[in-house]
Every structure is written in structure tokens, then in C-alpha cells.
Structure 1
């Protein structure tokens, strides 16, 4: 017996659907999903520019690395709001990283298969696992140990991120932002959020969009409180403001509107 559809979208004008605007109702969200799927190609192929960019560096060593000031310090112009060109460039870089991530094959050997995960709505336990205490039985390749040395909890390895289900990614974004709003940001928490944003599906769920907006506002507060010698953190906070306001289309939160 065939299952009945749990929700019927019905006829609607596809030309009026904005995929960058957060849906306010279930109907709007389902219409965005329909239009988004219709725009997908039958076969996804990374552009030559994306493939060329990552051909010289192993994907597993580069994709979840949070960009730092050393990457382009000469073009980072202001701690209180970099220029528009810089912001757009960071959004474009992020978009290319997402495209490259789509080329990463989901591991055949699920790294979570033998791991006892917290229930999804236990946000504090999930944040403890991500930031404070490493999952028992979660293996990290020896070549990655040094790269994730600043992580007390379970680091966002490529194999882990690609093993997460869409609903887990959405919930973890909300959980981790709640944690940072309460306890502050660190290199490890920012790297985790960056990795999750590489794989979160668009259009964003309304609650995910709301959390990102709260985080973007907080990034501006944190940045204003930092000393000038904390360049790397200032850079990274500005980076998040750029990708949230430009790539995820929260334009009213941009540094340069």
C-alpha cells in the first residue's frame, strides 16, 4: 500500500518564490523546497575553478579549517567592519568551500555507528560532546590529531560532518549557538559552527535562520570588545558576519550595506 503524502503543496507561482528569504509558514517552506529541487541539475558536477582550487591540498585537511588572519591580512581593513569587497570575497570563498564539500564522498564506514549519541533535544549534552569531552569510541586519524589539538571535545572532522543527517546539522547549529551565546566563543566552537554551515541545507529552517541572526549580532558585540592585538579572532568574527549576512541573505546585518 502506498503511503499518502503528509502535506500537499498545491499550485503556486514559482516566479514569486525567494529561496534566500526565510520561510514564515509551513506552506512557504514547502514551496521553497519544491522550487529548490526543481533548480537542481540531474547530475551535480563541481566547476573547474573549484576542482582546481582544491587539487593541490587534500580536502580532508582544508575544508573544515576556519580561515585565519594569516590568509589575507593585507586585505582585512578594519576591526569594526571590513569593506564591502572583502565581505563579498569571503562569502564567495565560503560558497566555493560548500561546493567542494559536495564532492566529498560520504564515508562507507560510518564513524558514528559504534558511538552512543545523546538524544537530539538534549542541547547541553550535545555541546559537552562537541566542546568539552570527546565521544568515547570516536577515532581520529593520527594525521589530524595536531590539527585538532585545541579541541577538548569531539572535533568536526570531515568524516564526522559528512555522516550527520540534515536534521542533526540543523539542531546542532541551534544548540551550539545557544551554548556560545551563554558561554562565549572559542576557536573550537567557531570551527564547529563553520563546519556545520558548510553542509546545512538551504533554504534555512526559520529557527536555524533566527539562531544565525542572534549569533551574527553577538559577533558584532564580541568584536567591539576585543583588543587590537586579537586580530585573528576579529577576523574570524568578521568572516561569520559576512557569510551570514551575504551568503545566507541576512542583508540587514551586514557590516557594509
Structure 2
């Protein structure tokens, strides 16, 4: 078998014949010819087929495999947006992205207020609190008077995705924060603060997408479709935002298999 393979595969670095007595394989090569000769000798000693010796006792008895659903759940009757609406949202989103790119350098150079302390990239809990606020992250139930007049305590309500803030995020941080928020959303309900930040981060996400970002936005669209499928009324405030997230992922980022069809 080896001789047949040698006939099929031409030698890219042919070696001239030499006196084997002059070459000692136990010593370091003295020139390129001896180095190649040593490589050939080591390769000839390797078996054609190698079988790994696996100890079954070291394998876990129960191994879980996470398999994600490829597509979105279909929208309930009357909950799906029209194609015209989706096209309008894609057009608006494209304009927002162009505006962000145009003004990014200006806002990147601006100083933030003293109360705006951005977490480090790897601080997942810090970013969740920064974006969503302590009230949401800690499940703090607001009093009726607080709901009517929540004030501007961003530590409690979350910092909005101001252009002065998101312009300072590089692509690595954008992907990280996007992952943190989507993971939070996998186990929690959709809230306005989440929608604002997801929209802003998607607007800052550069194309072509990296594989990690590609997987994240598909995860987001699937989660939005799952929440939408459980809505009881078309008048639910979350419906428009959920449809918008699915629309942006599917139509703008060209994940067409996730798109809503009329």
C-alpha cells in the first residue's frame, strides 16, 4: 500500500542517492539533505494506521449534548408582521447603522459622565446590571408611585445605550455583551431595557459576522420566536419588539431560514 501511495504522490523534495555509511541518524543533521533523510526515516517507522486505546472507565456515564433548533417557531395566527413592515424596519435599521458609523469617532472621543462606569469585558454580571439595571436583575418589585415616576437612577433602571457609550465598545466587547444579554434572556422575560440594548448592539455589529456572532443572533431570533409563541394577545407590548428582533436577524443579517413569511 505504501509503495502504491508513493507512486501516486510525486515527491516534492527528491533526494539524491548517498552513501548510508556516511550518514549517522543518531547525530543532528549537518545539512538540508541529511535533515530530509532523517524525516523520511522517521516517517517510514510510523504505522499506516493508529488505533487509540480508550479506557471506557474514564468516560462519563451520562454525557449531555445540547442540540439547538435550527429554525424559529412559527408565529401564532395574526402575530406575524407583513413583508412590507419587515422591509421598512430593515431600511430604518440600515440608516441607523450608517449614522452610528458616521458619528462613532466623534462620540468615541467624548468623555463620559462621572456616574457612567463601564464594566470590564469579562464582567458578565456587571454588564447585565449596567444594561438592565438592578431592579430587573435582582427582581425588585417597584411600588406604584415608582412606576409612574421612576426617575433617572440609572444604577436601578439601567443605562440606556447612548451613542457615547456604545461607540467606545470594540467588536470583542460588543459580542461579549450581546452574549451576556442573550443568555440572560434565555431564562427571563423580555423587558424594554433588553430590547434597547439588543437593537443598539446589533447596530454596532460589523459585517461579515464572525462565527460566534452568527450563532448568537440566531439564538436571539429563536428565543424571540419562543416568547412570541406564548403571547396571549396581539395587543401585548412585547410583540412589536420581538418581531423587530426576528426581522433584523433574518432580513438584515440574511438568516433567511428564520424569517417570518406572510
Matches within 5 A, 1:168-179: 168-179=173-184
Aligned to 2:110: 109
Describe the superposition over 1:66-120 as per-residue Cα deviations: whole angstroms up to 9, x where unpaired: xxxxxxxxxxxx7531122221221111111111222222243332899654332
CA contact (8 A) 2:190 2:238 kept: no
Cα distance in structure 2, aligned partners of 1:218 and 1:86: 21
CA contact (8 A) 1:107 1:159 kept: yes
Cα distance in structure 1, aligned partners of 2:116 and 2:194: 21
Matches within 5 A, 1:39-188: 79-104=78-103, 105-111=106-112, 117-133=118-134, 152-188=157-193
Aligned to 1:240: 245
CA contact (8 A) 2:166 2:201 kept: yes
CA contact (8 A) 1:110 1:163 kept: no
Cα distance in structure 2, aligned partners of 1:233 and 1:151: 21
Describe the superposition over 1:219-252 as per-residue Cα deviations: whole angstroms up to 9, x where unpaired: 1111121232544310111111111001011110
Aligned to 1:51: none
Cα distance in structure 2, aligned partners of 1:248 and 1:238: 15
List gaps (5 residues or longer) in structure 2. 1-76, 136-149
Describe the superposition over 1:121-171 as per-residue Cα deviations: whole angstroms up to 9, x where unpaired: 23233212221249xxxxxxxxxx979989712221121111222211121
Cα distance in structure 2, aligned partners of 1:108 and 1:98: 19
Query: What SS does the corresponding residue of 1:195 show, helix, strand or coil?
Result: helix
Q: 1:255 to 1:112 in 2, by over 3 A?
A: same
Q: 1:169 to 1:110 in 2, by over 3 A?
A: farther
Cα distance in structure 2, aligned partners of 1:148 and 1:101: 26
Cα distance in structure 2, aligned partners of 1:92 and 1:148: 34
Using structure 1 for the length normalisation, give the TM-score: 0.58
List gaps (5 residues or longer) in structure 1. 1-77, 135-144
How far does residue 175 in structure 1 lie from its aligned partner after superposition? 1.2
Larger Rg: 2
CA contact (8 A) 1:118 1:125 kept: yes
Q: 1:97 to 1:146 in 2, by over 3 A?
A: farther
Aligned residues, how many? 170
